[in-house]
Structure 1
Amino acid sequence: MKELKDTQNERDDRNLAIDRVGVKGLRFPVEVSDKGGTAQRTVATVALAVDLPHHYKGTHMSRFVEVLNSHGSCIDVRTMANLPRELLKRLDARKAHVEFQFPFFRSKAAPVTGRAGLMDYEVRFEVEAEKDGPLDFIVTVMVPVATLCPCSKQISDRGAHNQRGVVTYSVRCKEPVWIEDLVELVERSASCELYSLLKRPDEKAVTERAYDNPVFVEDLVRNVASRSNAHADITWYRVEAENFESIHNHNAYAVIEKVG
C-alpha cells in the first residue's frame, strides 16, 4: 500500500500549545462495583484528551478510540484509572485526561411501607496523569434532594414552600470511597432524600420529615462540607447545590470548595 501523508505530525509555526485535545461524546459499556459486592453494568459517556505541544499541527484522534477499545467490550474502574498512562505513551504526550460519566442505580426502600424502587444518580470519574507524575482521581456524584425553606416555614401560618434540588459533589480521597456512601452523605444533608416509589404512608412520612428539617441552599452546601471535613479519607471536595425554586422564576445556588 502507498504510504499516506501524516498531516498531524507536520510542524505548526503559531507557537501555541493546546491544553487538551481529543475526543468526547463516546458511549461505552462500563462495569462498576457497588457496595453490596455486585458488579453493575451501565453505559458511560466518555471523553479522552491529551496536551499538544506548540510545534505539532494536530493529534491522532483514532488512537484515543484504539486505546479505549483495546480493553474489550466493557471497562471496569481499575482499567479506567490506567487509561491516562496508556494515552501518554500512545500519543507521546505530557498530560492526559480521561472522563467517564454514567448513570448508577440503587434500590431504595420506601420509609414506611418498605416498597423498593430504583433510583438513578449521575456519576463522573475524572482521571488525570502527567508524565512521571501521580494520578489524580476525582469522583463526582449528582444527587437529587428535597429542601424546605426555613424562612417560609417561619412566616407562614400554614405550610412552607419546598422544592427539588441537585447537589453536585466532587471529592478526592486517600482511599476509595463507595459511590453509595457519597450519595448518602449528601442525602443526610438535605431536608429529605428522594425515592422513586412512595405509597400514601410513605408520602406522609417524607413530607413531614422535610417540614421538620428545613434548610436553605446555604445550609445544604455547609452540611455537606461539614460532613466532608469530618470524613477521614476525603482530602478535597467541591459541593455545589442548585434548588429549582417552586415559587420563584429563578433557581437558588451555592457552592463551597475546600482549598488545598
Structure 2
Amino acid sequence: MKDVQSQPDNRNVYLQRVGIKNLSYPVTVMDRKNGYQDTVAKINMYVDLPVEFRGTHMSRFVEVLNRYRLGIDPRLIKQMLEELRINLKASIARVEIEFPYFVLKNAPVSNQESFTKYICRIDGQKSADVYDFTVSVGVPILTLCPCSKEISERGAHNQRAIVWIHARSKRLIWFEELIEYAEKSASSPVYTILKRVDEKFVTEHAYDNPRFVEDVAREVAIKLNEDNRVLWYKVEVESFESIHDHNAYACVTKNKEESE
C-alpha cells in the first residue's frame, strides 16, 4: 500500500512534536512494597518530524508501547524511547505518562487500613546522546493557617492542599519516598477513612503544626536538598483556601548540580 506519511514535503517546516495525546492505557508501574502495581495511565507520545517527511506513522507509537507497558521504569522507558526514535527516523522521542497510584495507609489511631490515591507522572525524553527522566507526584495534604491560629480566639481555618514534587535523580527514588517528604511537611496527611478517634487526632495534630504554603514548600525543599540522589527539583504547593475566594500558592525550583 502507498505510504502517504513518508511522501516528501517541500514546505521546509520542521515540527518539534508530532504524535498521540490522551491515550488511556493499562500499564504496570513499580511499587516499593509489592514490586509492581497495575493502573490505567493517560499517555502522550511524541517525536520530532524532519522537514522532508509529510507525516509520522501514528500506529507505531502504540505498537512500541505495547512491548513496554508491563514494566514502566527508568531503564525500560529509555529503551522504549530509543526504539521509537529509530523506528520513526526521528532525532528526539518523548513520552508523558500520568496515572493514579494507590498506597495502603493506616489511620493514625484506629489503624484502619484504606487506599489513598496519588497522581503520579513520568516524563522521559531521548535523543541520540542524551536521556532525560523525571518523576512527579501530586500529594493531597492538610494545612492549617498560622495567622488564623494566632489571631483567633477559637480555632483556625484549615483546608486541603496539594503538593507537587517534580524530581530528576541519579538513582531510583520511589513515589512513596516523595509522598513521605510532602506529608511530613504538612500540617497533617489526609486519609481515605477516619474513625472518630482518628479525626480527633488529625484535627489536633494540624492545630499543633500550622503551615503556610510557603512553609510546606520550604520544608519539602529542605528534605530534597538533603537527598543526595536528587539532581534537580521543583516543588509546588497549592492550598484550596476555605475562607478566601482564591487559592494560595508557593513554588521553589533548584538545580543542585549548578549550586555545587
TM-score range, shorter chain: over 0.9
Superposed displacement of residue 12, structure 1: 3.1
CA displacement at 1:88 relative to structure 2: 0.8
Structure 1 residue ranges without an equivalent (≥5): none
Q: Give the corresponding residue for 1:122.
A: 119
Counterpart of 1:229, as a letter, is N
Aligned partner of 1:192 in structure 2 is 188
1:238 equivalent to 2:250? Answer no
Measure, in 2, the Cα distance between the counterparts of 1:130 and 1:145.
Answer: 37
TM-score by length of 2: 0.93
Question: 1:135 Cα shift?
Answer: 1.6
Measured against aligned partners, the alpha-carbon deviations of 1:33-65 in whole angstroms (never above 9, x if no partner) come to 322243211111111101112332221111111
Higher alpha-carbon deviation: 6-15 or 142-151: 6-15
| Equivalent in the alignment of 1:55 | 52
> Is residue 126–residue 139 contact of structure 1 (8 Å, CA) maintained in 2?
yes
Q: CA deviation at 1:8?
A: 2.0
Residue ranges of structure 2 left out of the alignment (5+ in a row)? none
Any idea what the Cα deviations from partners look like across 1:138-173, whole Å, max 9, x if unmatched? 000010000011111111111000110111110011
Q: Verify the 8 A CA contact 2:29 2:70 in the aligned structure 1.
A: no
Distance 1:223 1:54 in 2: 47
**1:202 matches 2:198:** yes
Amino acid paired to 1:139 = V
- Matched-pair contact (CA < 8 Å) for 1:31–1:41: yes
Q: How is 1:8-19 mapped onto 2 (pairs within 5 angstroms)?
A: 8-19=5-16
Are the counterparts in 1 of residues 144 and 156 from structure 2 also a CA contact under 8 Å? yes
For residue 179 of structure 1, what is the aligned residue in structure 2? 175
Aligned counterpart, 1:44: 41
* Match among 80, 84, 90 for residue 81 of structure 2: 84
* Percent of matched pairs sharing the same residue: 48
Q: Pick from 144, 158, 164 the counterpart of residue 140 of structure 2.
A: 144
Q: Distance in 2 between matches of 1:120 and 1:168?
A: 14
- Contact preservation (8 Å) 1:28, 1:74: no
Secondary structure of residue in 1 paired with 2:5: helix
- 2:193 partner SS: coil
Deviation at 1:9, TM superposition (A): 2.2
Shift in Å, 1:211: 0.7
Alignment: residue pair count:
255
Distance 2:29 2:70 in 1: 10
Which residue is equivalent to 2:215? Answer: 219
* Contact 2:78–2:126 (8 Å) recurs in 1: no
Query: Is the partner of 2:38 in helix, strand or coil?
Result: strand
Q: Distance in 1 between matches of 2:143 and 2:65?
A: 40
Structure 1 letter corresponding to 2:115: L
Partner of 2:243: 247
User: How far 1:15 moved relative to its partner?
Assistant: 2.9
RMSD: 1.5
1:203 positional shift: 0.5
Looking at structure 1, the residues matched to 142 and 78 of structure 2 have their Cα atoms a distance apart, in angstroms, of: 33
- Contact 2:18–2:46 (CA<8 Å) still a contact in 1? yes
